[in-house]
Amino acid sequence: MNLQTTARKLGIEDAADVFREDWDAIQQTLPAGGPPFLQPEQIARDCETVLLPADMAQAVAAAAQRVAANDALSALAWYCHCRLFGERPVRPEFKSWPLPTHALDRDAGLFYVLVLLSGIPSMQRIHREREIPADVIRDTVADLKRCLETEDYFLRTGHWGISQNIFGWLMHSWRGDLYHLGRLQFKHGPFTGRLRAFRHRRARAVLALAEDGVAFRADGQMDVAGQEGAPDGWTSTLEISDTAIAGFPIDPRGFAVHRRLRLPASEWEPALLPNDRILEIHIPAGPPPMDYDACGESLRRALAFFPKYFPDRPFKAFVCSSWILDPQFEALLKPESNLVRFQKEVYLYPLRGGGTTMIWQVFGLRVKDIRSAPRKTSMQRALAEHVEKGGRFRSGGCFLFPADFNWGAQVYRTDAVRQACAGEGGAV
């Protein structure tokens, strides 16, 4: 079936171009009986492999029957499978891939679940080659079930399924790039923060400097939508030569300092630079809660797991970008809060972006007005009160070097680094 006809039958004409590359060649390989991964016996095995419970497996099987019975849906499913898991897999921009809502209505969110299941053999091959332990595989693939029942598609529609965004996220697991170790997930990636971190050659202290040309507000946070152009804002500079590194420090509590530092290059060495290989930390939505000790144990496991199973992918640091890293939480929540304790173990830095994710993570997706938000927990009460007083939330970033891992020691909150940022006694 040609692409134009397929798109018309599925009601996705406006998005058809995202599937144009290799469409005809791929359709020529479609088996006469349709995609084999849609057969009931295969669907049952695949659902068991990724630990879907019986009710979810039944819904997935029913959706598979609908796709198999529709020639246009089958053609699209085969195309997606071949592009992602064929001989020449690609990494498309999943946000542009449409949901076939016109053809599948309430089951539209299960279409990309079926495509994911078709890639199980590819994922298993990676796990075998790397000799990934069975318990890590089990916890990693279980993320599909969690996403089906907690992420945006289910919360918006009330039906099991995944959106294009979550499909793209789960592909990290299917490609062997992401693993679930205890409470946290870890994914290989490049460092994209707008800073550079340096380590003192003798004292081993770490200090981050803002990248050149970053716009900050007076409070050291990055400009965000609706808050740009403050009259007291400023822009960072960074100059690196053979003799010195001159720039504006990032306080480990999560804000830039409008005070230019000059670090002798003979005493400071680069520790984290743009595009360095890192391990991204992801904190899946609970339950269980984001327990402080459990997070520390996950990091310990990661320090043992990745060098053993991925010796060819060394990493410089753990890095996280999340609403839980908003530095305001230290003032709003109790010191014993899991979030506050986590923040004190890592080096915080500002990000450009609001904290809209926080609202639905803490209060629920359907909360539109903070005045009607539930206030069952101390966290909900504190955050709602902050918004009612005109406060805003933002995302934040953090890094943690393996050499500095000492859960409970708050290694980046040292007096020397804070004095350097504040201009008390010069640099370390």
Residues 379, 337: Cα–Cα separation, whole Å: 9
The CA radius of gyration of the chain, in Å to the nearest whole number, is 24
Ranges of the chain whose pLDDT falls below 70: 224-231, 354-372, 374, 376, 379-380, 386, 389-391, 415-428
pLDDT on residue 254: 96
Preceding peptide of 288 cis, ω within 30°: yes
Which residue, 264, 260, 111, 141, is CA-closest to 201? Answer: 264
- Residues 6 or more apart whose Cβ sits within 8 Å of residue 37: 43, 46, 81, 114, 117, 118
Residue 376 lies in a domain: no
Q: Are residues 29 and 159 in the same domain?
A: yes
pLDDT on residue 225: 44
pTM for this predicted structure? 0.89
Residue 363 lies in a domain: no
Q: Are residues 168 and 73 in the same domain?
A: yes
Residue 382 lies in a domain: no
pLDDT on residue 87: 87
pLDDT on residue 135: 97
Residues 12, 19: Cα–Cα separation, whole Å: 11
Residue 15 lies in a domain: yes
Residues 378, 329: Cα–Cα separation, whole Å: 12
Torsion sign over Cα 271, 274, 276, 279 = positive
Q: Which residue has the tokens 């994911």?
A: 116
Residues 344, 411: Cα–Cα separation, whole Å: 8
Domain that holds residue 232: 180-355+392-428
pLDDT on residue 323: 86
Q: Are residues 135 and 197 in the same domain?
A: no
What is the DSSP-derived secondary structure letter of residue 54?
H
pLDDT on residue 390: 66
CB 294, CB 182: distance < 8 Å:
yes
Strands 277-282 and 318-322: parallel
Residues 290, 319: Cα–Cα separation, whole Å: 17
The overall longest dimension of the chain from CA atoms, in Å, is 77
Query: At 180, is the secondary structure helix, strand, or coil?
Result: strand
pLDDT on residue 1: 87
The total domain count for the chain is: 2
User: Of 107, 141, 176, which residue is a domain's last?
Assistant: 176
Rounded to the nearest 5°, which phi and psi values hold at 336? Answer: -85, 0
User: Of 176, 201, 222, which residue is a domain's last?
Assistant: 176
Q: Are residues 184 and 154 in the same domain?
A: no
239, containing H or E segment: strand 238-240
By CB atoms closer than 10 A (0-12, 13-18, 19+), residue 54 is: exposed
